[in-house]
Amino acid sequence: MDWKLELVLIPVSDVDRAKTFYCDQVGFTLDVDHQAGDEFRVVQMTPPGSACSISVGTGITDAEPGSVKGLHLVVFDSSAAPVTAGARWTGTMC
């Protein structure tokens, strides 16, 4: 039996800023941006070539923004990663 990690919830303080960072600056694919009222919004994004996505949003987790630690985004060649000049890579993701 295979076990696969397919989704990680990332608590953020600004959903639109996180979406812009991951999609427009880092190059993640936007899979879902769904809002159901003022209390629920989910934005799911996937890194290129990855089987695991991340989700940010409103009403999807009680965890504090910035509380997720120790996740690793692995690339073969960091100098070739799709980070534009507008996103200064610091090793920290939004």
Q: What is the pLDDT of residue 27?
A: 87
Residue 22, pLDDT above cutoff 70: yes
Q: Helix, strand, coil shares of the chain as percentages rounded to 5?
A: 15, 25, 60
Q: What is the pLDDT of residues 23-73, one digit of tens each?
A: 998 889 999 999 999 999 999 999 988 999 999 999 999 999 999 998 888
Other Cβ atoms less than 10 A from the Cβ of 47: the count is: 19
Q: Please check whether residue 54 lies inside any domain of the structure.
A: yes
Q: What is the pLDDT of residue 36?
A: 96
Q: Please check whether residue 25 lies inside any domain of the structure.
A: yes
Cα distance between residue 10 and residue 7, in whole Å: 10
Q: What is the number of domains present in the chain? A: 1
Which CATH number goes with the domain that contains 36? 3.10.180.10
Q: Please check whether residue 93 lies inside any domain of the structure.
A: no
Q: Please check whether residue 62 lies inside any domain of the structure.
A: yes
Domain with 12, as residue range(s), is 7-75
Q: What is the pLDDT of residue 62?
A: 95
Q: What is the pLDDT of residues 72-92, one digit of tens each?
A: 888 777 776 665 444 554 554
Q: Please check whether residue 92 lies inside any domain of the structure.
A: no
Cα–Cα separations (whole angstroms), residue 52 to 12, 30, 38, 88: 18, 13, 27, 24
Q: Which of 1, 50, 8, 43 is nearest to 23 (CA)?
A: 43
Q: Please check whether residue 13 lies inside any domain of the structure.
A: yes
